[in-house]
Amino acid sequence: MVEIERKFLVIGDTWMHGVTKKTDITQGYLSRSDGRSVRIRTMDEMAFITIKVGKDVTARQEFEFEMPFELATSLLGFLDGDELIKKTRHLVPLTERLAFEVDEFHGELDGLLLAEIELQSVGQRFPRPEWLGGEVTHDPAFLNENLARSYPQIPS
């Protein structure tokens, strides 16, 4: 399956008024190399392993499988604490079929807010709410696999 997504910085807090669901997420990367990653993620009481392949961050192959929660937490235990990402994902619907997922990062990344939108095609248009900041889709510093390593410089 091809995942087509775009990622943006978030400005202010007016996005909070549209939140319909919140999910706590912990994730880490078992493997990451040029254009490939293997991620373990827990979301509340569910767990997934995700394989992403492709250098074009706008449209990559993504394979995701549910896994036992206990196995996921065990695998995440092999990673150093600073390699884990902890965040709260807020669902902010735009239309009947489109929604932003606003990730509020915790720990070392505290204060970072990123909005992602999944699209049906690379050129698909979508409403741009006033709280949507600059696009960082193509900035490798804002890939989650890199966020697990360091806090990015926020573009001005």
- Please identify every residue annotated as catalytic: 29
Instruction: Give Cα 49 distance to the centre of its chain.
Output: 14
116: Cβ–Cβ under 8 A, 6 or more apart, which residues? 5, 6, 7, 8, 100, 101, 103
